[in-house]
Structures are given as structure tokens and as C-alpha cells.
Amino acid sequence: MSVNTAAGTRISIGPIVEQDMPATDAAAITLLSGLTFVEIGEVENIGDYGDTVGDVTFASLGDSRTRHLKGLADAGTMDLTIGFDSGDAGQTALVAAQKDRSRWNYAFKVVYEDGLTDYFVAKVMSIGKSVGGAEDVIRRNVSLGINSPIYEDAA
């Protein structure tokens, strides 16, 4: 595999997932890959995402040494910048997901140009519009709160 540009990368939203994610990555990929997704159109930028583990420290008096332990994993918040298209089915699904106040998450997948696919579940936390000036494209700014690991499927 070689290095690629982001061109050709697509992100899609799936249905609400009304269950907790399976314990193994393989089972989660099987579950998520079997869902029907709709591509989110006119995506300009997909922000950073992926697990960061919290740094839990302990200061030992006996050896005057701070120890670092791994705490909670957090896949973060993904920010999307999208060209506003009120007729796009994917953008309409994002708006509906943002209004949903249930405890369940929505399925998402990111497909890269080389075929690698990332799956995860998230809540759509915010959707804002940026109008700008006369020569600006109206954009949606979307924030996804990721509530699962990132399940990477090379198939």
C-alpha cells in the first residue's frame, strides 16, 4: 500500500444502531458492514478521528517517579465541513440524526480511495451553517461524537 491523497474519500451515514456494539472488532465489522448506508454529499473536509487513551498518573513517594498508566479510550469528535445541499439525502439524514435524542448511536463508514473502510458509531452533536460573503459557498459544519472504536476493514 502506498501513500494517498484524501481525494476520493467518502463518508456515509447508516441507520440508528439500537444495540450495544459487539465485544470483538470482527463481530462489529460484520454488524456494521451489513447495514445500508447513504453517502453524505459535498463533503469538503473530514477532520481527525481515532482513539486517544487518557494519561493516568501516579506519583510514587518511594522512588520519586511518576508512573503513567492508560486510562479511558476516546475516539474523539469528528468535524465535517460540507457544501450545503438541502436536497442531499445524506445531509438530510445527518439533520434527522442530530434531532434524535435517543440513547442509541448512528452507524458511519468512511471509504478511502484504496478501498480501506473505517466503521464507527456516533451521535450527531451539532449542525451549523456558515453563510459567509457573496463569493463563499454556503457550508454545513457538523460535529460527530464518536462512541465506539474505529473498526478498520481492509477487505
With bands split at pLDDT 50, 70 and 90, how would you rate the model's confidence at 2?
confident
Please check whether residue 5 lies inside any domain of the structure. no
**Whole-angstrom Cα distance, residue 74 to residue 34?**
25
Question: pTM here?
Answer: 0.91
**Whole-angstrom Cα distance, residue 36 to residue 55?**
37
What count of other Cβ atoms lies within 10 Å of the Cβ of residue 75?
A: 19
How confident is the model over 78-136, as pLDDT tens digits? 999 999 999 999 999 999 999 999 999 999 999 999 999 999 999 999 999 999 999 99
**What CATH number is given to the structural domain containing 114?**
4.10.410
Please check whether residue 4 lies inside any domain of the structure. no
Please check whether residue 52 lies inside any domain of the structure. yes
Domain of residue 18 covers 10-153
Q: How many domains does the chain have?
A: 1
- Phi then psi dihedrals of residue 33, to 5 deg: -70, -15
**Whole-angstrom Cα distance, residue 143 to residue 108?**
13
Please check whether residue 2 lies inside any domain of the structure. no
Please check whether residue 1 lies inside any domain of the structure. no
